[in-house]
Structure 1
Amino acid sequence: MTKKIEYKLNTMITAEELSRLFKASGIKRPVDDLPRLAKMITNADLTFTAWDGEKLVGVARAITDFSYCCYLSDLAVDRDYQKRGIGKKLVNLLQEQIGEEVMLLLLSSPIAMEYYPRIGFDQVDNGFIIKRKR
């Protein structure tokens, strides 16, 4: 039986745990490049995680200046745990941590475009991007 989901801030996770979660969530990330995933974990300013016992079932990973803006670089929830409010709770915890003066922004995958407005995000048209080469 599933226990209550436990949420943690900046708890150490391994690249292997993050890879497994990304695979289980369907998010497109470099799941087989463990050194790169390790750098993604180490260099994040805020990482909220959701746990079912010892199993990592959700993550919100963000980069911020703690003053003006915060970029939510990953929001992933294991498919078996989706539609339970875990993603929304991770975003709410992140918002509580950064406060009301800090703008929270993200780039959505095409398949998640309808999800983010449901959890409080407004869509914007004034963005630009220089895409990564790999």
Structure 2
Amino acid sequence: MYQYYKGLIIREGTSGVPAEQVKKLFEEAGWVRNVPNWQMEKFSLIFQNSAWAFTVWSGEEMVGMVRVISDKIMAGNIMDLVVQKQWQGKGVGRKLVSLCVAKLPHGDWFAHTSADNYDFYKQCGFEVKDLNEHGTCAYYGYIQAKNAGDRL
């Protein structure tokens, strides 16, 4: 799947994601540094072992990504949601979360993240269940379905 969003291209898929592009995003986010060459393959393997993934592209440069660990029936965990600083605040992260939730709209979604991101996930419809420095944000699809009248 390809779709256009504010001049960017969003691709869905768990194969063929370039390890160097993932590493670059992780470095900018401060998640990794000084990665030895022999560990580069892990940046592609994380996608191959994910249920769903979306990458965001500006030309040949990956400017955002998210991957999901899920049973594809009842629950999904948002992993590694990251957007380049210059694209933050422009709706790209929210778009990625909405694409994830659409995969399992009546399922339970979780995002383990730092306290700095709680407000972002609240804007995406998640609840903050743990107010520690690192907690879990949860989106209960079955509650959303019940509130919308789609489920008794």
Query: What TM-score, normalized to structure 1?
Result: 0.81
What residue is the counterpart of 2:129 in the other structure?
A: 124
Quote the offset at 1:36 in angstroms: 2.3
Quote the offset at 1:35 in angstroms: 2.6
Alignment partner for residue 39 of structure 1, among 26, 40, 45?
45
1:94 matched to 2:97? The reply is: no
Counterparts of 1:75 and 1:51, CA distance in 2 = 14
What residue is the counterpart of 1:112 in the other structure?
A: 117
Quote the offset at 1:44 in angstroms: 1.1
Note closer, same or farther for the CA distance 1:119–1:27 as it changes in structure 2 (3 Å cut).
farther
Which structure's residues are more often strand, by fraction? Answer: 2
Counterparts of 2:11 and 2:41, CA distance in 1 = 23
Extract structure 1 runs of 4+ deviating beyond 6 A: none
Amino acid at match of 1:6: I
Task: Give structure 1 stretches of 5+ with no counterpart.
Answer: 130-134
Alignment partner for residue 23 of structure 2, among 16, 19, 33?
19
Q: Which structure has the larger Rg? A: 2
1:66 matched to 2:69? The reply is: no
RMSD: 2.1
Counterparts of 2:30 and 2:75, CA distance in 1 = 23
| Matched pairs, number | 122
Amino acid at match of 1:54: E
Give the % identical residues: 25
Quote the offset at 1:81 in angstroms: 0.8
Amino acid at match of 1:119: C
Task: Give structure 2 stretches of 5+ with no counterpart.
Answer: 1-5, 136-152
What residue is the counterpart of 1:80 in the other structure?
A: 86
1:4 matched to 2:7? The reply is: yes
Quote the offset at 1:17 in angstroms: 0.8
Per-residue CA deviation, residues 57-113 of structure 1 (Å, 9 max, x unaligned), is: 110100111110001111000011110000000111111122x22111010123222
